[in-house]
Structure formats: C-alpha cells, structure tokens
Amino acid sequence: MSQIDLSLGNLLPNEVVPTLVDYEGSEAVRLVLTSDAETPDNPTFARIKDVEFRNGTIEIEVAGRPLPDAIPEARGFIGVAFRILPDLSKFECMYLRPTNGRAEQQLRRNRATQYFSYPDWKFDRLRTEVPGHYEAYVDLVTGAWTKMRIRVQGDKAKLFVHDQDQPTIMVNDLKHGSDQIGGIGLYIDNGTEGFFKNLNVTHG
C-alpha cells in the first residue's frame, strides 16, 4: 500500500477548484466545481499525477456536504473516479450521497451510494434500465469524515464504507471491461463542497 501525495502540485483539476484547508482537525483537499462545470456524472474531478491504476484497492477518507447556495437536489456527491483515460473520455466512478444517508424517505436512503461509468452509463440511465443494481443504502452523516475502500479486479468492483467487512455495492460488470488502465481522481458533483484526505493505493 502506498500513500498518495495530495498536495496541490500533485493534482490535475478538471472543472473543479482545489485548495488545501483544515477541516474537522485534519489537513484536507477541498474541492468545489468551477462556475462552468457540466453536471451530472461528468469528469468533475482532480486527477492524481503519475498514477496508473487497473486492479487493486483505493482507500480514502471523504467528507461531502451541499454548498449553502446549492440547488435543492444537491446531495453532497463525493467519491472516487478510477481507470480514467488520459483524454478523460472514459472512466469508472463510485460516489456517496451523504444527505441521503439519514433522509426521511426510504427511497432516498436506498440511493445513498452510486456506481456509474462515463460517458454512456450515468446514474439516470442505470436507474431507468436496471433499477436498484448500482445504488445502495449505507448510513452516512453529511459533512462527516467517511472511509471509502474500492476493490477493483478485472471487470468487478466493490465499495466498502466505514471499514465494513461486507461491501455496500458490488459491481460485476464494469462497463469499460476488465482491461482499461487509467488514472485516479477525487470526484465531486453538483453543489458539493468536498474534502479528501489519506488516499492510499494498492496495486494488484
């Protein structure tokens, strides 16, 4: 396992603005979208320089919350994009919707986590064509540090949250197949103020 440098000089932002801040007692990367960012489920992330990833494990702590002026549909979307091609034309992604974790509507709770694949398999298409297969419930607290672990092997990926032994989401058909190799990115979406720390990557 190798810890990844999250200094600003090691980030390649695309439609996001990174800064280094102190958040809840920890140094963290803060991300917000640029004013012209296209959403949802687009390449709105800060890629890590010189990291190529195919199979292995990505571990990180994240905290997401809607900005004060965010639209009502904002959920604090925050997560990790992986196997990002150099031209950003294809990638896989798993993210959290923190405000859904303790929502008063069961349907929203069922959508606390999400997998999508850019560009052809965004959340709305997956939700329409295969409802319930790529979203799942997990307890989340808006703005609180949350551990994510993504295990990728071939065309399969599993998302573990809060150091749980069992995955929250299991994807058995990554849409770009088993052979794509690419970068890793710190991902946010519409209306999010996102914080990231302690990124570790294990290959193999």
pLDDT at 16: 98
Residues 169-179: what's their mean pLDDT?
A: 98
Tell me: the pLDDT tens digits for 184-197? 999 999 999 999 99
Between CA 198 and CA 107 the distance in angstroms is: 31
Tell me: the pLDDT tens digits for 15-28? 999 999 999 999 99
Homologous superfamily of the 2-203 domain (CATH): Exo-inulinase; domain 1 (2.60.120.560)
pLDDT at 1: 81
Residues 198-204: what's their mean pLDDT?
A: 97
Tell me: the pLDDT tens digits for 114-129? 999 999 999 999 999 9
pTM of the model: 0.98
CB atoms within 10 A of CB 114: 26
Tell me: the pLDDT tens digits for 26-84? 999 999 999 999 999 999 999 999 999 999 999 999 999 999 999 999 999 999 999 99
Residue 145 has pLDDT above 90, yes or no: yes
Locate the domains of the chain by residue range: 2-203
